[in-house]
Amino acid sequence: MNEGGDKMVTNAGAESATRTKPKRSRAKKKLGPFLKVKFGSAAVPIYRTESNGRVRYMLSFYRDGRRMRKMFNDLESAKKEALFVAQRIQSGMQHVTDLKPHERDSFKAAVAMLEKTGIPLVAAIEDYTRARELAGTESLAAMAAEYGQHFRKVVRKVTIPVVVAEMLLHRKQDGASKVYLGQLKTTLNRFAAKFPGEILDATSQEIDAWLRSLAVAPGTRNSMLRCIKVFFSFARSRNYLPEDRSTAADPVRLVKNVSNDYSIFTPEQMETILHNAPPRLIPILAIEAFSGVRVAELRRLDWSAVDLDRRIIELRADQAKTASRRVVPITENLAAWLAPLERKGKVVATKNLYVDMTALTRALKIEWPRNVLRHSFISYRIASVKSADQVALEAGNSPSIIFKHYRELTTESEADKWFGILPKDGQWENTFSYSVTKRLGSINGVAFKLPPVQSACQL
Residue span of the structural domain in which 51 resides: 35-106
pLDDT value, residue 306: 93
Per-residue pLDDT at 396 exceeds 90: no
- pLDDT at residue number 217: 82
> Minimal CA–CA distance to 265: which of 368, 354, 364?
368
For the chain, the domain total comes to: 3
| Predicted local confidence at residue 127, as pLDDT | 80
Q: CA 33, CA 29: separation in Å to the nearest integer?
A: 13
| Residues 90 and 40 sit within 8 Å (Cβ to Cβ) | yes
- When pLDDT is cut at 50, 70 and 90, the band that residue 3 belongs to is very low
Quick check: is 243 in a domain? Answer: no
Domain C-terminal end among 62, 81, 106: 106
- 297 shares its domain with 440: yes
Of 84, 106, 128, the position where a domain reaches its end is 106
How confident is the model over 259-316, as pLDDT tens digits? 545 688 999 999 999 999 999 999 999 999 999 888 888 888 889 999 999 999 988 8
Same domain, 212 and 309: no
Residue 121 within a domain: no
In a domain, 135, yes or no: no
> Are residue 350 and residue 203 in the same domain, yes or no?
no
| Strand ranges inside 355-437, DSSP E | 432-435
Per-residue pLDDT for 138 more than 90? no
* Spatial distance between the Cα atoms of 208 and 219, rounded to a whole number of angstroms: 15
Per-residue confidence at 455, pLDDT binned at 50, 70, 90? very low
Residue 357 sits in the same domain as residue 449: yes
Residue 230 lies inside a defined structural domain of this protein = yes
Per-residue confidence (pLDDT) for residue 275, from 0 to 100? 97
pLDDT tens per residue across span 311-340: 999 888 666 655 567 889 999 999 999 999
| β-bridge partners, 329 | 312
**432 belongs to a structural domain:** yes
Residue 118 lies in a domain: no
Question: Do 233 and 283 belong to one domain?
Answer: no
**Residue 371 binned pLDDT confidence (cut-offs 50, 70, 90):** confident
Nearest to 248 by CA among 269, 233, 262: 233
Confidence of residue 9 (pLDDT cuts 50, 70, 90): very low
What confidence tier does 432 reach under pLDDT thresholds 50, 70, 90?
Answer: very high
pLDDT band at 458 (very low <50, low <70, confident <90, very high): very low
What is the predicted pLDDT for the residue at 454?
A: 43
**For the domain that residue 324 is a member of, what is the CATH number?**
1.10.443.10
Task: Determine the Cα–Cα distance for residues 44 and 26; give it in Å rounded to an integer.
Answer: 30
Residue 208: the pLDDT is: 94
Q: Is 352 in the same domain as 220? A: no
Q: Are residues 222 and 292 in the same domain?
A: no
Confidence check: pLDDT of 235 > 70: yes
Confidence of residue 134 (pLDDT cuts 50, 70, 90): confident
HSE at residue 20, side-chain half, CA atoms within 13 A, is 6
Q: Is 355 helix (H, G, I), strand (E, B) or coil?
A: helix
Give the model confidence (pLDDT) of 73-109 as tens digits. Answer: 999 999 999 998 888 877 765 555 566 777 777 878 8
DSSP string, 419-454: TT--PPTTGGG--EEEETTTTEEEETTEEEE-SPPP
Query: Can you give the pLDDT at residue 142?
Result: 72
Q: Are residues 231 and 271 in the same domain?
A: no
Q: Do 335 and 378 have their domain in common? A: yes
As a whole number, mean pLDDT of residues 206-228 equals: 91
- For residue 269, report the phi and psi dihedrals to the nearest 5 degrees: -65, -45
Please report the DSSP string for 196-217 in residue order.
-SBGGG--HHHHHHHHHHT---
- Whether residue 210 has pLDDT greater than 80: yes
The verdict on 275 and 388 lying in the same domain is: yes
256: in domain = no
Q: Which segment of 142-151, 262-271, 438-447 scores lowest on mean pLDDT?
A: 142-151
My answer on whether 100 and 209 are in the same domain is: no
What pLDDT sits at residue 348? 84
Judge whether residue 175 has pLDDT over 80: yes
Flag whether 339 is in a domain.
yes
The kind and range of the H/E element at 69 are strand 66-72
Do 434 and 359 share a structural domain?
Answer: yes
